[in-house]
Structure 1
Amino acid sequence: MFDDDDLASIREAKSEWEAETLDPVLDRFGERKEEFDTDTGGQTVERLYTPDDVSDLDYADDLGFPGEDPYTRGVYSTGYRGRLWTMRQYAGFGTPEETNERFRYLIDQGSSGLSMAFDLPTQMGYDSDAAMSAGEVGKSGVAIDTLADFEKVFDGIPLDEVSTSMTINAPASVLLAMYIAVGDKQGVDREELRGTIQNDVLKEYVARNTYIYPPEPSMRIITDIFEFCARETPNFNTISISGYHIREAGSTAAQEVAFTLGNGIEYVEAALDAGLDVDSFAPQLSFFFNAHNNILEEAAKFRAARRMWAQIMEERFDADDPQSKQLKFHTQTAGSTLTAQQIENNVVRVAYQALAAVLGGTQSLHTNGKDEALSLPTEKSVRTALRTQQILAHESGAADTIDPLAGSYYVESLTDDIEDEAFDLLDTVDDKGGMLSAIQQQWVQRQIQDVAYERQQEIEDGERTIVGVNEFEVDEEPEVDIEEVTEEDEKRKIEGLESVKAERDDDAVAERLAALREAAEGDENLMPYIVAAVKAYATVGEICNVLRDVFGEYQPGTAL
């Protein structure tokens, strides 16, 4: 992009500037610290960037135009000028009735998408009345046992008018089946259903641990979902390959990109091994990233990830459909950065993180409530979080032009640096036999843990400032409202489950669970059988227990 003579002149001028202008100031005043780096120490931040730092940049190959390969500048040709990102606030609390109330509130306040949180028992495939569920029902999200619960969650919410994201992994097939069943009951054509299931089990073995089955049958279920949804619900994203939790566990930005795309590669390979054509399912793949504190690093991260995925899909998998090469992603602001101290500071953190996501071209965004360091967010804090997005969209100007940071010497250099480091990590993953093998060897986990430890040490030693925690502290107790789920709430939920079981057709449930077992023991696609079982009001636990019996449970510490 730059003439060699011009670059030589810039280098010469920079040397003169350093000698004549910079050095005298450094001699007198110095700088705030000896070295500057990005948020997680992934890249060194130089004092000044010039065209010389991006001298190898080729506009057509490295940037291009929005909506065109290599998608660095975005997957849509109009960016946010045509349509804003989906404002998707995470909700799900206690009972289905309470979640429905929160969903309706968010829609009334202008949220354009729903994002559903599930309690820990649901995420692990247990019913509310299971011994393992005691004390956890409704605590981290809504408790879902049967289709009756989903009917209550979406009462009065037409599924052809909303997009719903569900943060669910091991039992994702069951919750997706419930969503489809509610749509069928509402008379919504399955092709009109829009949304996303997280359905990313590999990152559970790495960072989050809400797994049920061993990897091989888990991958089978995922590819069954790919195949079923390509045919039945083509506008529903079948997986949200998640770097969010990898970053929350402590990774650098480059590690987040590398390990997320590495998991994506593993899913594509599993689907191809199952006989699917890459262009039949790849357009329905989506990603889920973290928006951390360093605005420019995060924006560069998103740009690098898009460019990398386009290259991976073309060079590794010979994808022909342009949509197969487009990395579309949801972003959530970084929960791990929120502090209990000076809780109002979290509003500021979230706003900057949201700005980073928008500058990086996210397709949808969840902004955390200020109180999420302590509990599920209150209605008031959720409103403030949503208003943060709306102000960003309608008042800041950040959405008015496409990829506004393009051409910044620093951002382009940082985009290249993150891409190079992430590809180096993927090369190491390949050398170890792929992500499954790298996870089995605990290599991925160790990389993340090492960074997390180093960063925590920096905070404790005062080398990294966290406002209100190790600098600028005040002596006061946080005054916040806390959302709570009581023992009485849990009791009512169990009573509701007992009522559904008493009223359903037990013979129909047994028949459909038996059919599911037979399919699991064979090689048929499991999704039609799960949908049938759900419609008979079989419970999440009953369906997952059938699959547990056939597939077994993953035991930590055993070989993958």
Structure 2
Amino acid sequence: MFDKTKLEELEGREQKWKDQVKSKIERYPERREEFETDSKITIERLYTPVSLKDFDYGEDLGFPGEYPFTRGVQPTMYRGRLWTMRQYAGFGTAEETNQRFKYLLEQGQTGLSVAFDLPTQIGYDSDHMLARGEVGKVGVAIDSLQDMETLFDGIPLDQVSTSMTINAPAAIILAMYIAVAEKQGVPPHKLKGTIQNDILKEYVARGTYIFPPGPSMRLITDIFAYCAKNVPNWNTISISGYHIREAGSTAVQEIAFTLANGIAYVQAAIDAGLDVDQFAPRLSFFFNAHLNFFEEIAKFRAARRIWAKIMKERFGAKNPRSMMLRFHTQTAGCTLTAQQPSVNIIRVAFQALSAVLGGTQSLHTNSYDEALALPSEESVLIALRTQQVIAHEIGVTDTVDPLGGSYFIESLTNQIEENVWKYIEEIDKMGGAPKAIEKGYMQKEIQDSAYRYQQAVESGEKVVIGVNKFKMKEEPPKGLLKVDPAVVERQIEKLKKLKEERDPRQVAEALKHLRSAACSDENLMPAILEAVKAYATLGEICNVLREVFGEYQQQIVV
């Protein structure tokens, strides 16, 4: 890209400058001997065209909306349409969460994002003995179609896109959403949104799994096939690096392990008989926006370029949309501190800005009090307003990829890509992501990274304001949101009443059909939809599948 003669001349001038700087550094030392990103990539004192001597504009950068999509998946990006502002919300009962949804929509939120409680995430009804103490705590309790009807009461599902963070029972929750839409008179082809549906990262980093990998992958590919025919505008999976990062990975590991999981899902779908261009345009991703500002921006850009190459070169995708890495971003919950929680507002703002400069399609900003409790209305409003200020007041949305061409950003993007490929090649040698997970490879890499990070915090090498530096005495926090302990009793009573009023014969027939489908190789979505419409509960449906598929036992990683 650069003239060879001029590069050589510049290299000489740069060396002369470095020699001159040495004497000044001896008199005024730099703050550290070596500067690194969180992924241990060395940060040079200065970046020039010499840092990019082998840079190929067409191959490495290109134009927005064109392969390899380094500069973004849309030609005009935020000049045409802003990212979807999608605050993650859910607590207590469906009624309470419905009120929070409506409040956020009134304040300018442009998409919904549902948080489910732990019993829902692992396929238990609220009256199950293992659900006690967790009902409605970290998300909304959804036991049946009745709860889902309440959750979206008064919210027209043809006018809003909805993201649902659910994995093991994703097919059931999606079926409930489709059924609610039908009751509103909205046909499936008009629905827009995303189901997370990413079970591999659950085995690695999060733990809300139910079934073993084989049946879990079948459920995922059944959703791919069903939605390709019936819910064409739905994103059938959100391949998640977010939880990998929250578990302690570096930025490089986050991208590498997420894309390795993505490769496994694509291969599974192809093995199930689907054409890559039939389902790949509806794949989406979910990443973390952490604190190392420039590394995060470069991470997003590198991820797009790598995925485009994977889809084109490995899987032979021909549709450009199959090569686009579209992603949702959430700011890093693990960086929020209980000490001086108002400082979290600043952390979140910079994290959100990195996601926007990195080209995200959708964004959730964490609330400043989330290290202490579920977000209050006040804190969630500040989080939403943070996105709105970035979108409308500071000018970063006025041009596409404003940091494109920065010597530092392009060099960092290249280094991240190079390091990610090394991980992917290593995982390929093991036989792919499922085998690497089975061996505990990803888990061990994440654990080691988390340990190093914590050591750096405890030694003071990594500064965390309010935790290991600039500490101060604080008053106990006020105004925190508390989930009513009576939620569980209300949910159990509602569930009991539902079972008394529904048609038991219809439920039994639907569950019998589901068992038969699970024992065969037919697509499970129609049978799950039938059971949902009969008001079979989430737990009842999961129990049928547990009996057929078994349950996954976590591998111990040493």
Aligned position for 1:386 = 384
Aligned position for 1:541 = 539
**Structure 1 CA distance for aligned equivalents of residues 556 and 44 of structure 2:** 44
Aligned position for 1:24 = 23
Aligned position for 2:115 = 117
Aligned position for 1:76 = 74
String of CA shifts for 1:64-88, please: whole Å, max 9, x gaps: 1111000000000111000000000
Alignment CA distance shift 1:337-1:391 (3 Å): same
**Structure 1 CA distance for aligned equivalents of residues 342 and 9 of structure 2:** 49
Q: Are residues 1:219 and 2:217 paired?
A: yes
Aligned position for 2:327 = 329
Give 1:57 shift.
1.0
Aligned position for 2:345 = 347
String of CA shifts for 1:342-371, please: whole Å, max 9, x gaps: 000000000000000000000000000001
**Structure 2 CA distance for aligned equivalents of residues 453 and 55 of structure 1:** 36
Aligned position for 1:12 = 12
Alignment CA distance shift 1:558-1:517 (3 Å): farther
The 8 Å contact of residues 42 and 254 in structure 1, kept in 2 or not, is answered as no
1:387 partner amino acid: R
Give 1:475 shift.
1.5
2:12 partner amino acid: E
Query: SS of the residue aligned with 1:477?
Result: coil
Query: SS of the residue aligned with 1:487?
Result: coil
Structure-to-structure mapping, 1:53-68, within 5 angstroms: 53-68=51-66
Give 1:378 shift.
0.5
Query: SS of the residue aligned with 1:331?
Result: strand
Aligned position for 2:146 = 148
Alignment counterpart, residue 136 of structure 2, candidates 110, 135, 138: 138
String of CA shifts for 1:247-304, please: whole Å, max 9, x gaps: 1111111110000000000000000110010011000100000000111110100000
Give 1:557 shift.
2.4
Q: TM-score, normalised by structure 2?
A: 0.99
**Structure 1 CA distance for aligned equivalents of residues 179 and 40 of structure 2:** 45
1:352 partner amino acid: F
The 8 Å contact of residues 440 and 555 in structure 2, kept in 1 or not, is answered as no
The 8 Å contact of residues 241 and 263 in structure 1, kept in 2 or not, is answered as yes
1:327 partner amino acid: L
**Structure 2 CA distance for aligned equivalents of residues 481 and 533 of structure 1:** 42
Aligned position for 2:439 = 441
**Structure 2 CA distance for aligned equivalents of residues 477 and 304 of structure 1:** 43
Aligned position for 2:33 = 34
Q: What runs of 5+ residues in structure 2 fail to find an aligned partner?
A: none
Query: SS of the residue aligned with 1:196?
Result: strand
The 8 Å contact of residues 39 and 252 in structure 2, kept in 1 or not, is answered as no
Q: CA RMSD in A?
A: 0.9
The 8 Å contact of residues 159 and 183 in structure 1, kept in 2 or not, is answered as yes
**Structure 1 CA distance for aligned equivalents of residues 309 and 19 of structure 2:** 42
**Structure 2 CA distance for aligned equivalents of residues 476 and 347 of structure 1:** 17
1:14 partner amino acid: E
Segments of 4+ moved more than 3 angstroms: none
**Structure 1 CA distance for aligned equivalents of residues 556 and 108 of structure 2:** 47
**Structure 2 CA distance for aligned equivalents of residues 19 and 423 of structure 1:** 35
Q: Are residues 1:428 and 2:426 paired?
A: yes
2:30 partner amino acid: E
String of CA shifts for 1:6-56, please: whole Å, max 9, x gaps: 111111111111222x12220111000111111x24311111111011111
The 8 Å contact of residues 340 and 374 in structure 1, kept in 2 or not, is answered as yes
**Structure 2 CA distance for aligned equivalents of residues 145 and 276 of structure 1:** 32
Give 1:558 shift.
7.9
Aligned position for 2:370 = 372
Give 1:489 shift.
1.6
Give 1:411 shift.
0.3
Give 1:521 shift.
0.1
Alignment counterpart, residue 189 of structure 2, candidates 175, 191, 194: 191
1:4 partner amino acid: K
**Structure 2 CA distance for aligned equivalents of residues 57 and 11 of structure 1:** 15
Give 1:477 shift.
3.5
Aligned position for 1:250 = 248
The 8 Å contact of residues 42 and 253 in structure 1, kept in 2 or not, is answered as no
Q: Are residues 1:505 and 2:509 paired?
A: no
The 8 Å contact of residues 343 and 478 in structure 1, kept in 2 or not, is answered as no
**Structure 2 CA distance for aligned equivalents of residues 557 and 325 of structure 1:** 34
Q: TM-score, normalised by structure 1?
A: 0.99
Q: Are residues 1:232 and 2:230 paired?
A: yes
Give 1:107 shift.
0.3
Number of residue pairs matched?
A: 557
**Structure 1 CA distance for aligned equivalents of residues 302 and 259 of structure 2:** 11
Q: What runs of 5+ residues in structure 1 fail to find an aligned partner?
A: none
The 8 Å contact of residues 252 and 451 in structure 1, kept in 2 or not, is answered as yes
1:6 partner amino acid: K
Q: Are residues 1:175 and 2:135 paired?
A: no
1:33 partner amino acid: R
1:426 partner amino acid: I
**Structure 2 CA distance for aligned equivalents of residues 7 and 437 of structure 1:** 46
1:23 partner amino acid: K
Aligned position for 1:474 = 472
What is the identity percentage for the equivalent residue pairs of Structure 1 and Structure 2?
63
Q: Which moved further from structure 2: 480-489 or 127-136?
A: 480-489
Aligned position for 2:494 = 496
The 8 Å contact of residues 371 and 480 in structure 1, kept in 2 or not, is answered as no
**Structure 2 CA distance for aligned equivalents of residues 488 and 248 of structure 1:** 31
String of CA shifts for 1:452-503, please: whole Å, max 9, x gaps: 1011001101111011110011011342322222331210111011111111
**Structure 1 CA distance for aligned equivalents of residues 525 and 69 of structure 2:** 33
The 8 Å contact of residues 341 and 478 in structure 1, kept in 2 or not, is answered as no
The 8 Å contact of residues 95 and 138 in structure 1, kept in 2 or not, is answered as yes
**Structure 1 CA distance for aligned equivalents of residues 390 and 536 of structure 2:** 44
The 8 Å contact of residues 317 and 323 in structure 2, kept in 1 or not, is answered as yes
The 8 Å contact of residues 79 and 402 in structure 1, kept in 2 or not, is answered as yes
**Structure 1 CA distance for aligned equivalents of residues 327 and 203 of structure 2:** 21
**Structure 2 CA distance for aligned equivalents of residues 9 and 410 of structure 1:** 20
**Structure 2 CA distance for aligned equivalents of residues 423 and 374 of structure 1:** 38
Alignment counterpart, residue 338 of structure 1, candidates 336, 339, 358: 336
1:3 partner amino acid: D
Alignment CA distance shift 1:491-1:126 (3 Å): same
String of CA shifts for 1:371-391, please: whole Å, max 9, x gaps: 111111001100000000000
The 8 Å contact of residues 39 and 251 in structure 2, kept in 1 or not, is answered as no
Give 1:531 shift.
0.6
Q: Which moved further from structure 2: 208-217 or 371-380?
A: 371-380
Aligned position for 2:407 = 409
**Structure 1 CA distance for aligned equivalents of residues 19 and 478 of structure 2:** 54
